[in-house]
Structure 1
Amino acid sequence: MIKGLAHVAMTVNNMEESLAFYCDKLGFEHAFDVKDQDGNPWIEYVKIAPKEYIELFHGGENKPDEPEKAIGLHHFCFIVDSVEKTAKDLEAKGVNLTVQPKRGLGKNWQCWTLDPDGNRIEFIEPDADSPHNQ
């Protein structure tokens, strides 16, 4: 069951400028970050409300063969009770998953699909100790 919108994710050209805009100018809080598998900066989270975030991906490289690195909307995400159940329910309704349930680098269970226009949609089930539960 979908409980709400967890985050909207964007790839940004300049992280410092983006964090200054969302935190200093709009008044939101920089909540936490996630490093990639090599320990490099990957995602910065800006807290909008309890359990709601803007997810900012480090970017700047607009590579046509890697659309996930294009500047702009990356994906949006719904928070769910159970990723396994959500995946089964979606597939039963004829929705094709692009990523089957798995544990991501952010230490949350997730699965993914596309809407009819190709927009990426993530469903997450945060771990009990996940910063997404703040």
Structure 2
Amino acid sequence: MSNQVEHLVYPELNTKSPFSQMKAGHIGIRTSHYEAFIQWYVEILGFRVVKEWMSGEMKLAYIAFPGNDSFMIEVLGNAEELPSFEDLRLGYNHICFNVDNIQTTIAELEKLGITIVRHFPIAAIGKEVAFIADPWGNKIEFSADM
């Protein structure tokens, strides 16, 4: 291992993996300052609001980079006035990988002995999602168009 600056050289793509179509989709960040969070990203960093919606009492939004549609931040508005949210951590919540087919992905994960923690449609954004946890408890979402 060298301490010199070098350009990254990627190994050959692993196209034999059943997960080879997977791409980064978004990272979920929970905040108790929903409007201020979005305003800062939009006004300071030039992010764009792609979609806002409600899930029960929680406000959610997708915000995208100023000049790139390949990755988003999912803002999870933690309503301070709701006692059911008191135990939820702010900050990092989950990372999402976009997949072509959620059912195929679930089947491959289950073949590997991985438990699907949650699986449900989100009609407001036209997605079907499934969540797992890695061995260290990090939440991973898989998302496909409905």
Tell me which of 18, 27, 30 is aligned to 2:49: 30
Give the aligned residue type for 1:16: E
State the 1:16 CA deviation: 2.0
Task: In structure 2, list runs of 5 or more residues that go unmatched.
Answer: 1-18
Q: With structure 2 as the length reference, what TM-score do the two structures score?
A: 0.73
1:81, distance to aligned residue in structure 2 (A): 0.7
Residue matched to 1:130:
none
Q: Secondary structure at the match of 1:34?
A: strand
Give the aligned partner of residue 132 of structure 1. none
Whether the 8 Å contact between 1:112 and 1:120 is mirrored in structure 2 is yes
Q: Which is richer in strand?
A: 1
Q: Return structure 1 stretches of 4+ with deviation > 6 angstroms.
A: none
Aligned-partner Cα distance in 1 for 2:92–2:28: 6
Q: What secondary structure is seen at the aligned counterpart in 1 of 2:22?
A: strand
Query: Which letter maps to 1:81?
Result: D
SS at match of 1:25: helix
Q: Which has the higher contact order (CA 8 A, sep 6+)?
A: 1
Checking the alignment, whether the CA contact within 8 Å between 2:58 and 2:79 is kept in structure 1 is: no
CA distance in 2, matches of 1:50, 1:122: 19
Larger radius of gyration between Structure 1 and Structure 2: 2
User: What fraction of aligned residue pairs are identical, expressed as a percent?
Assistant: 22
Q: Does 1:104 align with 2:122?
A: yes
Pairs aligned (count): 120
Q: Deviations over 1:90-131 (max 9, x none)?
A: 11011111124x31243311111001111111100023xxxx
Structure 1 gap ranges (5+): 128-134
| 2:83 corresponds to 1:88 | no
